[in-house]
A = this chain, B = another copy of it.
Amino acid sequence: MNGAEALLRTFAQAGVDTCFANPGTTEIQLVAALDEVSEIRPVLSLFEGVCTGAADGYGRITGRPALTLVHLGPGFANGLANLHNARRARSPIINLVGDHASWHLAADAPLASDIVGLASPMSNWVHSAKDADSLPADGAAAVAAALAPPGQVATLIVPQDAQWSDSSGPAPAPTPAAPATVPAAAIDAAASALRDSTSVAIMLGGPALRAPALRAAQRVTAASGDRCRVFIETFGATRDAGRHLPDFPRLPYFPEPALEALEGIDTLILAGALDPVAFFGYPDTPSRLTPESAAVVTLCEPQHDCVAALETLADALGAPSDIALDERTALEPASGELKVSSLGQALAAAIPENAIVVSEAATSAAAFEALSAAANPHTTLGLTGGAIGQGLPTAVGAAIAAPDQPVLCFEADGSGMYTVQSLWTMAREALDVTVVIAANDAYRILQAELGRAGVDEPGPAARALTALSGPRLDWVTIAKGFGVPASQATTADELNSALANAVAEAGPHLIEALV
């Protein structure tokens, strides 16, 4: 057995079952070895950013790492933007990056580059394999690194001679670490703050965005009364939502409303979230969004068992064990003209039971986000790192991870273009993904930022650099070219009908919604 096969057998024994691949010559033995290790499903993409984004989506849904298989430095670089999002999401991922044979590196061949240098900014763990004998143990170490709670991006660089040389066989699977238990002192501190403070905000994030944590947070508020409000972080990695769960507001995106939301609190309790900061710096607003006068109490960090921490806290406060939710107004299908509000309503109303929702629609998403709390139960995957081009690939990975759950991907025409090649993988793998493109023919968020920067009447250069027109992008035609059935909606009724068809039929569909 060569090193490539021994490495893949190591991964298979550790439960790795999916490889999102865009390989090249320096990965060719790993490609061949995938035929020997049938436990691992290969999924081809046309661009590396699709592979890494898909691995992110897969990791968020399963809690287990998928492999990416990408072609030395430049190919791997194409996947870095979505690894940035994955690192911020704390998704478990194992990147396999082939490299030149070790003895060939000194030749500085055309494709040689500093792969460790490229990997380090977007990886929590980077290792260059030495040879075929140590390669399986390197693989086991990569699994352990990826599974370190709550999840990490691990990058293993595999010289081609370590792939093709004889190996002594696979390495044992590592024992994954469990999430750490929160110290009692942290529970006590949070409980004291909730008892003694006059205005507390709890910020939920990371692992505290799943249903059990949201319910526990609801118990905490029930015991604390009006003094306590709960926020969820602006861009959560994996968040359960819908009418069966408490509806906590997201902290707003722009700093002014975020500062206003937190104004006057004397205590901020962090549960799986970081102390909130502005997405961007502006001349007249601070980096930190928490009032300087407020105390910050950390209940639990992302690597902790945040559900247990919140439950224990609720118990300590004497909270009731079960809280009835306020009745939500049922969502009506949208009607009339298609605009951001009716688009959001149509989408929220169309979310199938138990769906996975990927939202990267930027300025078109506000109404949808507000309404989705009244939608069918679903899980939403957010743009954790702000690197656009995440939506379509993450939908690919989520659909591979959960073949029984429909995936709804709400995209923008600008963001969707960065990894448009995702559509082909959706078609090839017959993934049950409904892509809705909010097509406003603009980088609308940048037009808003021009206004924030005091440019009230942009000149021709700024207009050209923020418009997606001349020609507009014909998403319906592009999707068909990639093998995805597509249609256009120009009214809310057309959108409702297209959504109903797309959800009812298996396989991928794209709907271009003109807003």
Contact = CB atoms under 8 A, between A and B. Distances in A.
Given A462-B32, A477-B481, A281 B80 contact: no
A465 interface: yes
Closest 9 CB pairs of A and B: A104-B281, A35-B459, A471-B483, A478-B481, A74-B387, A101-B281, A477-B481, A34-B461, A77-B80
Report the copy number of this chain in the oligomer: 2
B74 A80 contact: yes
Interface string A64-80: 00000000011101101
A288 interface: yes
A474 B25 CA distance: 25
B470 A481 contact: no
Given A44-B464, A427-B471, 8 more contacts: A25-B280, A78-B81, A104-B287, A110-B386, A111-B387, A117-B120, A161-B281, A471-B483
Contacts of A452: 28
Interface in A21-76: 21, 23-26, 28-29, 31-32, 34-35, 38, 42, 44, 46-47, 49, 73-75
Given A84-B73, A453-B32, A424 B104 contact: no
Given A121-B114, A121-B118, A280 B109 contact: yes
Nearest to A117: B121
A449 B25 contact: yes
17 contacts: A35-B460, A42-B464, A44-B464, A47-B417, A74-B85, A80-B80, A100-B281, A101-B282, A103-B287, A111-B280, A117-B120, A420-B420, A424-B471, A471-B482, A474-B481, A474-B483, A480-B481
Interface in A451-494: 452-453, 455, 458-462, 464-466, 468, 470-483
Interface string A429-456: 0000000000000000110011011010
Contact of A473 (B277, B445, B459, B482): B482
A421 interface: yes
Contact of A31 (B88, B287, B465, B480): B465
A235 interface: yes
A164 interface: yes
Nearest to A453: B28
B88 A84 contact: no
Contacts of A235: 110
Contacts of A118: 80, 118, 121
Interface string A160-204: 110010000000000000000000000000000000000000000
Contacts of A75: 81, 387
Contacts of A103: 281, 287
